[in-house]
Amino acid sequence: MPDDNTNENPEEQNENQDTNDDKDTEIIDSSDSLFGEKDREITTEMQESYLDYAMSVIVQRALPDVRDGMKPVHRRILFSMHELGLRANAKYRKSALVVGDVLGKYHPHGDSAVYDSMVRMAQDFAMRHILVEGQGNFGSLDGDSPAAMRYTEAKMTKISEEMLSDIEKETITWADNYDGSRKEPTVLPTKVPQLLLNGTMGIAVGMATNIPPHNLGEIIDALQAMINNPEIAIDELMQYIKGPDFPTGGVIYDKEAIKAMYVNGRGGIVVRGRAKIIDGKKGKLNIIISEIPYQVNKSALVTKIADLVRDKKIIGISDIRDESNKEGIRISIELKKEAFPKKILNQIYKLTPLQTSFNMNMIALVDGIQPQLLNLKQVLYHFINHRVIVITNRTKYELKVAKARAHILEGLKIALDNIDEVIDTIRKSDTKEIAAKALMEKFNLSEIQATEILAMRLQTLAGLERKKIEDEYKEKMALIEELESILADPEKIKQIIRDELNEIKTKYANDRRTEINPNQLGKFSQKDTIPNEPMIIMLSEQNYIKRIPQAIFRSQNRGGKGVIGVTTKDEDEIKSNRLLTC
């Protein structure tokens, strides 16, 4: 039997179906969608959606802010540690605690992304000045992975505390977090020029950034020079900032390439590891590598050299040992007696990452939203401008607090000067609200002043306590005058910036690790990688010429006319030979 809901008439059913199809078609073709939006061209929709996605990646993930040099994830990690009280003098706490706090409050992405970012901030071979003090396995130059976050512990370093200094004093702007439940800083009020100090690397949509680390003392000297002379040229700034200063040391070549990089905001420089030739055991020579280029995997470098020796692309190496320890890098390459160390070292430079290039692309967010390619002077300018804004906002906040306290102290002074009348007024009042209103009317006080008078203890009536109030009032009035003078004079703000920069330099600056060689490094020719060694040139009876090393000739010569092991055409014999030094 047919179902009760089934139409038994096929024609009627088809007619009803056609009607339903027309209704469906009418809904689909309607100019209004289910969400009340108009139909759009798919090309327009794709373009705008892609641009929204691209800008989200650029602003929220991949590019740093030129002011504090931080990407959102790094900023959120430091701010979360600041909220957790993980100062430099605090105890270490589990990394998992920090990662969980960042994820739950500010950064709704994968935990590995947050932990990897925090790990890099704790690696002294990745950062010129580490921002996170790590305890446990945080990876190594050999590419070893860090331990899981449940095993490692972390806290802030002293220099990272300087990046959050005065954050509670209304110095910066704040924004809602991802769910609107709390506020997070859009930029840090940093005293440290982080963008140049530790550099950064990021790949966004349609653009990428790659900024090398620099020396803190040199950056601060350049900032001081720019504050004194805003029109300073990049040539003059380079008298202070010689070039990048990598945490792993090395040697940078070509001053002109460095200059072009700073002027244009992008460019490439050649970086070499540091190696020297020393005397080894039994009359042999050794090549000792003590520094490697930035971001080069030490273990991969050793493996690469070993592979080249195995494939006989480098001849003359008898042993390779990685003798690195906590004191630093030491890769020992033991050479054979007949080897030519300079030629082998040139081969290592040419064929391995011991010589590499670093390509800078100084793209950062200006005002937190606009990605721009910046040169050296522009980066310094934006940092100085940020410090001017931070100090101005801090001064306004301190002035507001000082005025509020002086206002209260002024009311307490009035009460102490008229203590008998104040007590009498309070006695005659039935409630504290009536007493406050009476005091306000009788002594022309504000509500805050009246409330503080009512909360005043009897011990305040003692002579010494009264003097404390008077002294504090004088102190606050002097502070107010000083703060107002700072806001009225831009030169005083600049002087504060100078003083704070000098303080940072005194506390944290250290010597340059990367050497700058002003000369351009020439390209390797085939001749540079061929050892200078004595060769035997032989002429056969049929006038064919053959060349073999002298050592091989000696081992094969038996005093006869021919040479054992030296092949010639059709039993052609050696007619003469001559020793040449090539």
The conformation of residue 62, written as its DSSP 8-state character, comes to I
Annotation says 151 is catalytic: yes
The angle at the Cα of 213, spanning 68 to 272, to the nearest 5 degrees, equals: 170
Task: Measure the CA angle with vertex 133, ends 127 and 134; round to 5°.
Answer: 100
**Distance between CA 223 and CA 375 in Å, rounded?**
14
Q: In whole angstroms, give the CA distance from residue 237 to residue 224.
A: 10
Q: Which of 297, 340, 296, 293 is nearest to 317 (CA)?
A: 340
Which one from 50, 53, 106, 151 is the annotated catalytic residue?
A: 151
Burial of residue 209 (CB within 10 Å: 0-12, 13-18, 19+) is buried
Query: Any idea how long the chain is?
Result: 582
The residue among 315, 309, 322 whose CA lies nearest residue 336 is 315
223: helix, coil or strand?
helix
Handedness of CA 115, 119, 121, 127 (dihedral sign): negative
- Amino acid (one-letter) located at 425: T
Q: Compute and round to an integer the Cα radius of gyration of the chain.
A: 37
Task: Note the Cα 153 to chain centre separation in Å.
Answer: 21
Structure tokens at 567: 């092949």
Residue closest to 345 by CA, chosen among 291, 275, 278? 275
The answer to whether 473 and 406 are in contact (CB under 8 A) is yes
Dist CA 408 CA 446 (whole Å): 9
317-322/251-253 β-pairing: unpaired
Residue keyed to tokens 């490692």: 152
Of 389, 409, 405, 393, nearest to 480 by C-alpha is: 405
Rounded-to-integer distance, Cα 225 and Cα 219, Å:
10
Residue 188: how many CB atoms within 10 A of its CB? 28
Active site residues: 151
